[in-house]
Structure 1
């Protein structure tokens, strides 16, 4: 049974999630035929708000004055649904914030630009009233965007996608005329902080994806007959995973010099002249490149400097990256402005068998489930369940018991972003944390062994949040293990504390996510945000602390993600921001893959703040928490007593610091990450902004030593901020 949620549910106690395996061999897509009764309960007259909008373009998308801006970022959710068909358009389609534009995944609808199309963009996928850094809550999926009828010399972008976290771009095909250099599939512009785009097909055109962003995880993208597959105009950290290039001139172009660090893995290129076009030599770590498990045919020159001073020394100068090794061919020269050719070197790499397909040696890359093969009889809308428990979904009534009864027999799927909100005294004890959502049981057996439930549980398109001051709240705890990667899976699920309508006053929680030792789970597109600003421009529910101002509400959230799982954890496109003690804490864990992780500091910490970490949580620290005996700010990441870790593209950012939100000139935080007593840990691509020390180590003796500083590893410039990049860390790989 597939469970369909509507919007805004209040939970006063923990809910446990489990579910049976999905059925197959269905016909038709159930989403068109269900009752659509989602609402927006936090706005005036929100009980009558229309979420589902069938086949609405532009005027329909602004129904309910969605273009007025008076409902903020979170108060105007909408799903604009396109049934199968071809929709010819003459001008740009514009999206509003809070909109998911989607089609039938069993028969993708086509939005096609007419031959006389006017404008530059076929689909403007984000709300133009919100700049990229605050462009949240957009979705585009299950569509074909087509410019094949537009003259190849006319400049057109099929999707403008200048967004940040909590956005979804998945299962979209971009069809452009072959050889049309002026046609671009996806374009991002300005300052953006998105996490992932996934499962996309690009055919024809000049450029498939052109990116300007702080970070990006590019997963399962396929490029056919595109002149340039990906152009990294300015990206500090990027992971390109499971890409396919066929008949391209250039696979990935980093020659503009704006690329900080690129990890390319588990990818193939055929009939493609250049796999990676690199930037000219520089005196910084900009342009760092890792190739791992990449296969190319004889037509491919694996890496080419943009302006080589001398020809390659042989017909095959760059090493082929094969399973069990990583090639790091990066042009560099510390003193001369003249670029030189450097073939790089091969580094042995261990991928734990638990984390990979042992036939291909690749990490799993699973598409977000659409349950397209389910019949309508397998779909249950929690608000339309005759004879079953009553679910209000109004953000006021306690729906805990009713949801638990339904969840015991169903998997979970969304309607826009469903919000589950915690409230009540059961989550108030900081010394006894309790989960709002518990996925799978956890039982202590004789001898101290922990037994966890094996099964299937999947969640898509959820937001977990709070409605009270809850220092003992863990928003989600995962104990369940699946037989295969993705059996226990989470796609486009996010954690938000503060910053929106609904919560009142100061907000707090203990943790966003706790992956327990017996769990085995797959995560894709997950963001934990302790609010540093108000999304709805009505209340001031940021959750920092400090010396005054609208952003300084006491006491904040203790930690972001605590990973203690041992059976297998996959994190693709992960972001964690503004927590007190740490953003990511990997403690006594095993078999962890992180494809891309991004974090930001707690802005209220820093100069002028008198409340030093671990305060205000000093009386309720967990065994896994850092004690901060060596410093006074949060850590972006702490990894301790863990093994079999493969981590790619880490980006941890500091932009402002202190209770007055002072902009960082440089080094406004001492330390970015601490690694303690780990084994078989490989880190590829670690970048930080405005941290004096990038990496610290602590061994068994307890002494902390600096491994890498920003000054000695200066990276790509970004809008005046100081960056540092470590391309590879193997100090605890034995």
Structure 2
């Protein structure tokens, strides 16, 4: 049945489940406990094995362990031998996976580890977790991650950062730990960069233990550190690198260890060996002095009779069978439920031939990543793009929340905008998406899988996500994927989705743990956007682009100025490694805060790289038209000649910033109003 053909939900009612051997799970499997009273899975004293819960599917590579979830559980190893190494969860997974609302209970001063990723992976998000006791809370050995709202209490080492290129730790609390983050013990790779923001350390000997960036041959970009708003009490040392104490006490501002670019500064930047910057946060993004966060809603405060199964509404049949057009009745039920009920979409594929309108007052929950899939002629015209799912109308205000849904296309539809968000909330988080993703091709149930078989890449969808100027939305754990391979069969697809995420919002946007991959023109495009927080973003360019590829960007698309499309006029007519998708474009705008970008180019036409110095792609990201108050922390690239182009001029090169998975810059502050004017260790 492939990766997506047989989804499973394993539900645990409240209670304590005594376990004597390892639980092995698989892709497309979701372990869910009762959020009202989380069930406990308890390892017996005679447990047979070294891993309690193995969520890594060995039938797949770790980088293809997709669509997996664990939530609302307590994992307890307190009865097992504290002197024996023991792992509560192997979480060597990748995108579209959710680990949330789980407590890991381990014996104090034991050899137990809560979560580890020993086989690697390409992760996006985990959060709202608690670790008690144990030797290690999280042993991170993964390409990139957003780790949000996690507590470590009495854990010897909260986080062992064995390997990772763009890791963001947000809203972390270390209490009674020896070490908060230990980044000195290598796994199968290096540590590129990590950020610790809006966090607290109490009674900790060392908050961050790192390697030095100074080597016999100079400095390296590896081990770049950004600490932003850290409160400490009864803490010995804040940052130790290579045995040298670089920082003590709290960090009320932003502290940087790594390469930095400032307005009016050196052409190749400067190396910050521990520099504090005064940064300004937009009040529209902040709650209680921290960037706003919100746990995935469980709706446990509502009664069962306030939940409506969309397949069980008398007079409005909805099938979700991948065969029936459900458009009319979905819209009728959503309109009726607005402000009155939570709408539950049981697992299935819901075909729609027209826009699904999500009105204010909507709360929508899927099951094992329910799919909403576009079909029909209304989505077929590239010159007149049309939204499949539309959240509110411009100017509307209220609640619209979506959890556990996949947005996809059932056919080749060059005019389809998969999701458009127009509305804002009265309060932060009123409009939000959690564990909701995009997929174009690569799976059963879509004509894209079978129709896009070579030649010029087929124009399968116009745009994945559009956040319009009137929107305000909190997004957590989202993967926008144009298929680079087939999850379910062996079709060698050649697919082109025009665009990834177009962000024009101005009223407050949070992108926490997002990834957009393999889209033709760009992955992220911020056009006149204001008040945007990004906490870890990851992308790859289309594998078929570059030297000898079947098309050069913008082909096969015609740039559309109404959607802020790049024209690639900066490239020569026949320069395929220049005419590759931008990872991110920032055009004008203000109050933009980006933490932890991981942008990876692997191929030229699914082959080795043919660019200068072995690079695959000329340019990674660009800044246009002088945005203001732009703070870009920990920009990481792979296979890119130039990391950042600023109004047509090369600002940051890969060669000048080696480290990470190619190159890394800890601080890009050329549009932040922070100039290269120094007073001791503080930059203004």
| Residue 109 (structure 1) aligns with | 39
| Residue 653 (structure 1) aligns with | 600
Residue from 418, 426, 449 that aligns with 2:378: 426
Residue from 361, 371, 380 that aligns with 2:289: 361
Cα distance between partner residues in 1 of 2:171 and 2:57 = 30
Helix, strand or coil at the partner of 1:511: strand
| Residue 240 (structure 1) aligns with | 169
Residue from 619, 626, 639 that aligns with 1:671: 619
Residue from 211, 234, 242 that aligns with 1:298: 234
Q: What is the CA-CA distance between 1:478 and the residue it aligns to?
A: 0.3
Helix, strand or coil at the partner of 1:429: coil
Cα distance between partner residues in 2 of 1:480 and 1:284 = 44
Cα distance between partner residues in 2 of 1:304 and 1:659 = 42
Tell me, yes or no, if the aligned pair for 2:258 and 2:666 is still in contact at 8 Å.
no
| Residue 505 (structure 2) aligns with | 565
Rate the CA distance shift 1:392–1:143 in 2: closer, same or farther, 3 A: same
Cα distance between partner residues in 1 of 2:610 and 2:97 = 27
| Residue 271 (structure 1) aligns with | 203
| Residue 629 (structure 2) aligns with | 680
Root-mean-square deviation over aligned CA pairs: 1.8
Cα distance between partner residues in 2 of 1:645 and 1:155 = 44
Rate the CA distance shift 1:278–1:659 in 2: closer, same or farther, 3 A: closer
| Residue 580 (structure 1) aligns with | 520
Residue from 644, 660, 663 that aligns with 1:724: 663
Cα distance between partner residues in 1 of 2:209 and 2:651 = 31
TM-score by length of 2: 0.87
| Residue 435 (structure 1) aligns with | 387
Cα distance between partner residues in 2 of 1:604 and 1:585 = 21
Cα distance between partner residues in 2 of 1:615 and 1:621 = 15
Per-residue CA deviation, residues 37-83 of structure 1 (Å, 9 max, x unaligned), is xxxxxxxxxxxxxxxxxxxxxxxxxxxxxxxxxx1000111110000
Per-residue CA deviation, residues 157-178 of structure 1 (Å, 9 max, x unaligned), is 0000000001010000000000
Q: What is the CA-CA distance between 1:610 and the residue it aligns to?
A: 5.1
Residue from 20, 24, 31 that aligns with 1:94: 24
Cα distance between partner residues in 2 of 1:477 and 1:83 = 36
Tell me, yes or no, if the aligned pair for 1:603 and 1:661 is still in contact at 8 Å.
no
TM-score by length of 1: 0.81
1:219 aligns with 2:148: yes
Q: What is the CA-CA distance between 1:305 and the residue it aligns to?
A: 2.1
Q: What is the CA-CA distance between 1:299 and the residue it aligns to?
A: 2.5
- The aligned runs of 1:315-394 (5 Å cut-off) are 317-318=247-248, 320-322=250-252, 325-329=253-257, 344-357=274-287, 360-385=288-313, 387-394=314-321
Cα distance between partner residues in 1 of 2:258 and 2:108 = 31
Cα distance between partner residues in 1 of 2:562 and 2:537 = 23
Cα distance between partner residues in 1 of 2:95 and 2:191 = 20
Per-residue CA deviation, residues 392-428 of structure 1 (Å, 9 max, x unaligned), is 1101110001100111124211221110000100001
Tell me, yes or no, if the aligned pair for 1:430 and 1:620 is still in contact at 8 Å.
no
| Residue 713 (structure 1) aligns with | 657
Tell me, yes or no, if the aligned pair for 2:518 and 2:543 is still in contact at 8 Å.
yes
Cα distance between partner residues in 2 of 1:298 and 1:200 = 24
Q: How many residues align?
A: 613
Per-residue CA deviation, residues 696-719 of structure 1 (Å, 9 max, x unaligned), is 100xxxxx1111111110013x5x
| Residue 347 (structure 2) aligns with | none
Per-residue CA deviation, residues 472-516 of structure 1 (Å, 9 max, x unaligned), is 000000001001221001000000000000112236101000000
Helix, strand or coil at the partner of 1:580: strand
Q: What is the CA-CA distance between 1:109 and the residue it aligns to?
A: 0.4
| Residue 115 (structure 2) aligns with | 186
- The aligned runs of 1:129-144 (5 Å cut-off) are 129-144=59-74
> Which structure carries more strand by proportion?
2
Residue from 230, 243, 247 that aligns with 1:307: 243
Per-residue CA deviation, residues 318-371 of structure 1 (Å, 9 max, x unaligned), is 36310xx20124699xxxxxxxx98612101011111101xx320111110011
Unpaired runs of 5+ residues, structure 1, are 1-70, 333-340, 443-451, 541-549, 699-703
Q: What is the CA-CA distance between 1:120 and the residue it aligns to?
A: 1.1
Cα distance between partner residues in 2 of 1:620 and 1:644 = 26
Per-residue CA deviation, residues 449-492 of structure 1 (Å, 9 max, x unaligned), is xxx11010000000000011111000000001001221001000
Q: What is the CA-CA distance between 1:551 and the residue it aligns to?
A: 3.7
Cα distance between partner residues in 1 of 2:563 and 2:581 = 16
Q: What is the CA-CA distance between 1:96 and the residue it aligns to?
A: 1.8
| Residue 354 (structure 2) aligns with | none
Tell me, yes or no, if the aligned pair for 2:442 and 2:493 is still in contact at 8 Å.
no
Rate the CA distance shift 1:370–1:661 in 2: closer, same or farther, 3 A: farther
Q: Which runs of 4+ in 1 moved over 4 A?
A: 329-332, 659-665
- The aligned runs of 1:693-704 (5 Å cut-off) are 693-698=642-647, 704=648
1:164 aligns with 2:91: no
1:124 aligns with 2:54: yes
Rate the CA distance shift 1:305–1:537 in 2: closer, same or farther, 3 A: same
Q: What is the CA-CA distance between 1:662 and the residue it aligns to?
A: 6.3
Helix, strand or coil at the partner of 2:127: strand
Helix, strand or coil at the partner of 1:304: strand
| Residue 53 (structure 1) aligns with | none
Q: What is the CA-CA distance between 1:552 and the residue it aligns to?
A: 3.0
Cα distance between partner residues in 1 of 2:608 and 2:671 = 36
Tell me, yes or no, if the aligned pair for 1:269 and 1:296 is still in contact at 8 Å.
yes
- The aligned runs of 1:511-530 (5 Å cut-off) are 511-530=463-482
Per-residue CA deviation, residues 420-457 of structure 1 (Å, 9 max, x unaligned), is 00010000110111100000013xxxxxxxxx110100
| Residue 66 (structure 1) aligns with | none
- The aligned runs of 1:601-640 (5 Å cut-off) are 601-609=541-549, 611-618=551-558, 620=560, 622-631=562-571, 632-640=579-587
Cα distance between partner residues in 2 of 1:328 and 1:662 = 33
| Residue 409 (structure 2) aligns with | 466
Helix, strand or coil at the partner of 1:404: helix
Using CA pairs under 8 Å that are at least 6 residues apart, name the structure with larger relative contact order, 1 or 2.
1
